[in-house]
Amino acid sequence: MNSFQEIENLIKTNKVVLFMKGEKNQPECGFSMQVVETLNELDADFYSVNVLTRPDIRKDLKEYSSWPTFPQLYVDGELIGGADIVKSLYMDSELEKILFN
């Protein structure tokens, strides 16, 4: 399986996927930490992928999503966005609706 197929498989088989720098219990950048904290605040169950240990996914996900930065949050197979978008959706009480629809 190439990394594009793996990305697609991860996105399709997990309701919520966060491609991030670090692990969900130890984020390695402030933006990843911010999204993890937001998801934890909402008690959301999510699968995470550490792009620092997966350079193939890190490289190919940028092309797959047309989104240049990390973290990248996917819900129900759709890209929600990065830290700023997640924070904005959370502040507007929209993130909870997206996660738990």
Q: What is the pLDDT along the chain (101 residues), one digit of tens a residue?
A: 899 999 999 999 999 999 999 999 999 999 999 999 999 999 999 999 999 999 999 999 999 999 999 999 999 999 999 999 999 999 999 999 999 98
The structure's pTM equals: 0.96
Residues spanned by the domain of 44: 3-99
Q: How many helices (H) and strands (E) does the chain have?
A: 5, 6
The CATH number given to whatever domain includes residue 91 is 3.40.30.10
Distance CA 27, CA 20 (A): 8
Position 42, amino acid: L
> In sequence order, what are the beta bridge partners of 26?
23
What's the structural domain count of the chain?
1
Q: How far is CA 32 from CA 1, 29, 84, 87, in A?
A: 27, 5, 11, 11
